A = this chain, B = another copy of it.
Amino acid sequence: MAVCELIADQGLDAVTVARTAAAAGMSVGLVQHYFRTKDDMLLHAFKEVTARIRGRADERIRGGIRHRRPIAEVLAEALAEFLPLDEARRTEFRVTRAFAGRALDAPALAEVDVETAHRLREDVARAVHNGKECGEVEEDLDPWPAAVRLTAVTEGLAMQVYRDAAGTEGVPASELAASVVAAELAAVFTGKCRQYAGN
């Protein structure tokens, strides 16, 4: 959607229906035809970008399951979808962050924000739980705190990576990010998947 591009390189408060219409090559009247109000439009955009990111992560997980790859590895890739490691993801990050800021006082936006976060945590928790069945995870480990921890580092790292790209770059955080996530995963997935022990 054109809204996202506008947000990405001009900021959320630079978004006006007129400008959005122009960016999308249509008239003000037409965007009114599709969205009754500006907030509707923004909400739709937020849901869209959110769904896209989540879709990619989901796909990686599904693909991993299909090919029976080690869960820790798949999870690392899925979580990396949330880090602004290239231009595309950086753009998405800016959009979601902008919305997150506004969500502080816009219940509709807040709802998709918390639901997204909640779903991700559930998925990670499920992945950890599944890890027990194939021996990657210690049998008596509680998946929920582990999921909280993993999603928290991911979210925190995302912001650090983003900030470092704009500020003084000593040791780029983007390089560290991968190893930090790996370390965190290693603390949870302590065993090797039995099915692949020999490969």
The reply to whether B155 and A176 contact each other, CB–CB distance below 8 Å, is: no
A148 interface hit (Cβ, 8 Å): yes
Produce 1/0 per residue, A166-182, CB < 8 A to B: 11100101001001100
Tell me whether A152 and B156 are in contact (CB under 8 A): yes
Task: Report the separation of the CA atoms of residues A179 and B164 in the bound assembly, to the nearest whole angstrom.
Answer: 28
Asked if A11 CB lies within 8 Å of chain B CBs, one says: yes
How many copies of this chain sit in the oligomeric assembly?
A: 2
- Given A101-B98, A110-B166, A187-B187; A159-B155 close (CB under 8 Å): yes
Q: Mark A141-159, 1 if CB is under 8 A from B, else 0.
A: 0001100110111111101
Interface membership of A27, Cβ < 8 A: no
Contact among B101, B148, B160 with A180 in the assembled complex (CB-CB below 8 Å): B148
Interface size class of A (residues with CB under 8 A): 35 or more
> In the assembled complex, which residues on chain B have CB atoms less than 8 Å from the CB atom of A121?
160
Residues of B near A101 (CB, < 8 A) are: 12, 97-98, 100-102, 104
CB–CB A153/B149 < 8 A: yes
CB of A11 to closest CB in B, whole Å: 3
- Which of A68-76, A111-119, A126-134 contacts the other chain? A111-119
The reply to whether B149 and A184 contact each other, CB–CB distance below 8 Å, is: yes
Q: Can you name 20 A-B residue pairings with CB atoms under 8 Å?
A: A11-B104, A11-B105, A12-B101, A12-B104, A12-B105, A13-B13, A13-B102, A97-B100, A101-B102, A113-B163, A114-B166, A114-B167, A115-B167, A144-B176, A148-B160, A149-B180, A151-B156, A153-B153, A155-B156, A187-B187
